[in-house]
Structure 1
Amino acid sequence: MPSQRQPKQLRMSCVNATSDMIINQLLLCPELDREKSIQKLLYRYAPPVVIQDVLPCVMQLLGTLYSPCASPEIISSLLRILLHPRLTEVQLSELTYIGNVEHDSLDLFEAALIKQLPNMSQLTHLDLSTHRYKTTFPSCSDEILQVLGLHCPSLRVLNLNFNNRVTGSGLNYLYPSKDHPGCEKLERLFVQDCSIQPEDVAMVLCSFSDLELVGYKELGTSIRMLKSRSLFRKRTGCLKLTHLDNTLSGVQRDDGDIVRLLVDLCPLMENLKVRVCDDNLNEIHKLKNLKHLEVRYYTGVHHPVGRCSELYLRTCGSQLTSFTIYCSTLLSRHILVIAESCVNLKKLFVHANMAEIDEPLDIDMNKLELLEMLNLRLGDDELVMNPAACAFVEFLVRKSWKLQELYLMVRSPEFHHSFISSLVQMNPLSHLKNLIIDVPRRTLAAPMLELSEETACLLMDTCDKLKILGNLICWDVTPEQVSELRSTSRARNYNLTVIYAQSNKLNTKYL
């Protein structure tokens, strides 16, 4: 008979208990004999698939609860214990929680990792990202990349984000050559804020035939180099890239040439984020696999959303599952085109400095019934009133029966408790889990929205699947009322987090 499924909660309990035991045993007696006995016991009773879960759990516990004890020697010992030769995934980014360390400590960490990697020929995923901190664990250098190129031919995903010790010379070791097998199966590479240049990434694009995703903010520049320097002749066939985000590039120019290059070089593109003028969207319809699109109508100056954009949405909008638009002025005509044409949208992000109604918002034209996430931000700062905001909100929410996440960053004279009350009468938001109502780019903590404790209670009673409600610091709600709401939630055993935070840059753990 088929094997029984293991209860997820039971497995996680086992992983947590095992992780805690390993750290406590090692810290109790950090000697080589104790290290070997822990490893022998672990390998005897825990298969590699469980050790693979134990590894990140141990690193997280070490970084959060035991960070004062997280010396390079302890970390090196844990690597020797946990890096089983049959592991396929190694996640070490949790070590970032330890905080800043000396450069000598990074050297010791790298030396320990270099000794273990030659035995891990089955490794497919390696994460050494450091979350923007330059002197924290984990660390990666060109020497580690050399070992990967020699001993880890099955590597498919490599995350080196924010490791400034990684250079273009190190990337050369990943290429297959007569001296080393390399990592020819590489599919995803993340090298954000490493010490590499666009031409280094251009060579990567030439050398790996299976590469689908490269996390690099100047990837558009690399693709331009690939074409202009005829590097593309070194390989056969088109690039398999499916993702490109050029919105983080330091050069604020339109990416019309990027769109044209992608049509020729990357016909499999699925996820595209670019800065554009309206004319740049003339050829984007040729990307038949495109499902996720973000367009920013800003290249140092604002550009209007025009006929080319509307034509693309009318003809190809049905293939999109997520769409993001950043513009200066958003007209109701644009919203109507999106709502009528993008019938398969699950995620919609609308960010505009001004909203105007130039055509009536006919609810019968709204076909966004599959929408699960709506993020609407109208206004370029907290003081701007947008009279059209309520009409936009009502139109987009009214038929979105499957909505699970709703983020409203708007101000309007009509945006108050009565409006929210009428909104939930039209659509009870029975699937809603996350609801954030704030004002755009808020810097003041003073109440800025005419929403009250009564509004919060209404939403809690109506939306029975609600898990996150905020940000009440800009509502007309006192700290005492927030405490009362939280007490009521606990008394009723609601699985609900009430957010009352100074910043409206939301913590990603809530999203």
Structure 2
Amino acid sequence: MSPRKQPISLFKMCVKSCITLINSACYVIEKSYPENMFHECERQAFELKCYLMSMLPVRLFDVLCSERTCCQYRGDPRIQLHVLTHPNMTVFRKCDLDNGIPQGFWIETISNFNRLAVLDLKFICTDEILQVVGISCPLLEEINIVSRVDICKSLFNASVLIRNVSDAGLCSIANLKQLRVLAMDPPRNERAIRVGRCVSQAGIIMLVSELPYLEELRIESCDIGSTLIGTAMEIGPLSLRKINCHFASADGIRKLIKICPFLRELSVTHVFEHNKDAILEQISMSDLRLNRLDLSFFSYTDSMQQLLCIKGTYLTHFSLWEIDNSLTMDAVLSIGRCCPNLSSLCLMTQSKCLVIPRHFRRPEKIFSELRNLTIGNENFNIGHILTFFFECTQNLEKLVIKYQTNINIDETLTHLLEKGCLKNIHCLWLDCTLEVSKDVVKRIISTCEKLQMFTVDFMEEMNDVHKYINENNLDLKLGTY
């Protein structure tokens, strides 16, 4: 059966106990002074901090501050933060309770964080705060500057969301030359520029050009590749390791590779009928040594075969969303031969040609390193395909099955269980179109010794299954849709 829940470590127990005691002391200090005596309250909190720093290692404060949400503080979070922060901190991540703290507090506090390597300001960041960060935190390697969002009621429209980080804020942190990871807001279109502050594509280009060690740029719902390709400025080479590029062209990919020659993870989406092979050929001809390649709305053509033959030995993650319904078993075997180091594979296809021949003999040493498998969407025999992959690898840990048509897979799962194929599975995600009976769900839970995440559409009432999980103290999250 699934593994048992283990007791929390002695270290975590000590951290939780420390935070509980500190919270109690902070609450007593806070309630001892009215609001007009806040400075006296602040002085008392500072004395408590000095006492704790004389008793506890400095690095423990990083842990206490990061784990402070394990025991909710009943009072003003500024008091707790005042006690748990200090000038030698290397990591600070805000929590949801911090969103209501006024900007002035952050400006005053962050100005003392001269040794920070990691700073998370998600949903509290403003240009004014970034001005302080740029001056006071020269050692930063990772920062999240997703803006604070204010809501303004418009006379003409519904409520308007106003952001508080603009290109001016980006200019403030351009001198943080050690930055490796940056998370931020997407650029706004011209109409949105009229409402509040915003970052622009030009501002993003300026910033990445100024950061010599930036490896990862996290911008939600933003086509970073097209942003870099579309600039008229001469930029690069950049140190970026991860890029997503939608509506790509061959010329665009060639320019992107020139701008980012150190890419390790590339995601390309192409929805046009022409030029797909040319895109693949540009990647093949490049000097890139990609570890991860995600291709959406492509076909398995000779150009893709050539790409995998040339670059496949470097790949540990490969994802293909194939749209011409032409994926065959020979193509799957070719992926296995060309990419011997794959640990993660995602194949999405509607192909009716993905069929295992009647007297098929599986080649040796293909997909032997596979740990994560995602497969879908329709028109192939799930049982045959899963059996093939499980015969290739004994170490599959995560299995995701997506399907567009309702189908009962009790027999398939039972067959896999009887063969011991699921013995190393940690996570099993079954699409809501896949019908699984309660008896098979129970059997999976009782048979799979490493299963900790299980998502399945409940066809029947499952209270007794949840009761079984709780009574046996199983470390298993059983979810549905």
- SS at 2:64 equivalent: helix
In 1, are the aligned partners of 2:19 and 2:64 still within 8 Å (CA)? yes
Does residue 127 of structure 2 align to residue 142 of structure 1? yes
Partner of 1:133: none
Q: State the distance in 2 between where 1:498 and 1:418 align.
A: 21
- 1:119 matched to which residue of 2? 112
Count of aligned pairs? 429
Contact 1:127 1:160 in 2 (8 A): yes
Structure 2 stretches of 5 or more lacking a match?
1-6, 31-40, 149-162, 188-197, 271-275
What displacement does 1:82 show? 2.1
Structure 1 residue matching 2:54: 3-state secondary structure: helix
Equivalents in 2 of 1:362, 1:316: separation in Å?
Answer: 26
Structure 1 counterpart of 2:327: 331
Letter in 2 for 1:191: M
RMSD of aligned C-alpha atoms? 2.6
- Answer whether contact 2:313 2:339 (CA < 8 A) is retained: yes
State the distance in 1 between where 2:350 and 2:164 align. 40
- The 1-side partners of 2:405 and 2:105 are apart by 58
- In structure 2, the residue matched to 1:280 is 279
Q: Does the alignment pair 1:211 with 2:219?
A: no
**Deviation for aligned residue 1:172:** 0.8
Cα distance 1:358–1:373, how it changes in 2: closer, same or farther (>3 A)?
closer
2:469 alignment partner in structure 1: 489
Match of 1:40 in 2: 50
- The answer for the alignment partner of 2:453 in structure 1 is 468
2: CA distance, partners of 1:412 / 1:150: 57
192-201 or 142-151, larger mean C-alpha shift: 192-201
Q: Could you say which residue in structure 2 is the equivalent of 1:319? A: 314
Structure 1 residues 414 and 213, CA gap change in structure 2 (3 angstroms): closer
> Secondary structure of the residue that 2:295 maps to in structure 1?
strand
Tell me how far apart the structure 2 counterparts of residues 25 and 354 of structure 1 sit (CA, whole Å).
65
- CA shift in 2, pair 1:437/1:157, >3 Å: same
Question: In the aligned structure 2, how far is the partner of 1:334 from the partner of 1:458?
Answer: 34
Q: Secondary structure at the match of 1:377?
A: strand
CA distance in 2, matches of 1:471, 1:225: 43
Deviation at 1:140, TM superposition (A): 1.0
Closer/same/farther in 2, CA of residues 258 and 391 from structure 1, 3 Å limit:
farther
Pairing 1:262–2:251 present: no
Q: Which residue of 1 aligns with 2:29?
A: 29
Alignment of 1:33-432 (within 5 A): 33-58=43-68, 60-61=69-70, 65-66=72-73, 69=74, 74-92=76-94, 94-95=95-96, 105=100, 108=102, 110-130=103-123, 139-163=124-148, 164-175=163-174, 182-193=175-186, 195-216=198-219, 217-226=222-231, 228-230=232-234, 232=235, 238-247=237-246, 253-276=247-270, 277-285=276-284, 286-297=286-297, 303-328=298-323, 329=325, 331-332=327-328, 333-357=330-354, 360=357, 362-364=361-363, 367-379=366-378, 386-410=379-403, 415-432=408-425
| Cα drift, residue 159 of structure 1 | 0.9
Amino acid at match of 2:182: L
The amino acid of 1:11's aligned partner reads F
Q: Does 1:453 align with 2:457?
A: no
TM-superposed CA distance for 1:54, in Å, is: 0.9
Task: Give the Å deviation of 1:411.
Answer: 5.8
In 2, Cα distance between the equivalents of 1:359 and 1:309?
A: 21
Classify the secondary structure of the residue corresponding to 2:67: helix
Q: Give 1:296 deviation, angstroms.
A: 0.9
Deviation at 1:36, TM superposition (A): 2.4
Q: Give the 3-state SS of the residue equivalent to 2:243 in structure 1.
A: strand
Partners of 2:428 and 2:138 in 1: how far apart?
A: 45
Once the two structures are aligned, what percentage of the paired residues are identical?
20
Q: Deviations over 1:329-378 (max 9, x none)?
A: 35124322222322111111223345533674652267111111111231
Aligned CA distance change for structure 1 residues 284 and 431 (closer, same or farther; 3 Å): same
Q: Distance in 2 between matches of 1:293 and 1:365?
A: 24
In the alignment, structure 1 segments of 5+ residues that lack a partner are: 1-6, 131-138, 176-181, 248-252, 298-302, 380-385, 440-447, 503-511
Query: Looking at both structures, which has the greater relative contact order when contacts are Cα pairs under 8 Å and sequence separation is at least 6?
Result: 2
Q: Secondary structure at the match of 2:48?
A: helix
Partner residue, 2:16: 16
Distance apart, 1:265 and its partner CA = 2.1
Q: Kindly tell me: are residues 51 and 362 of structure 1, through their superposed partners in 2, closer, same or farther at Cα, counting changes over 3 Å?
A: same
Q: TM-score when scaled to structure 1? A: 0.77
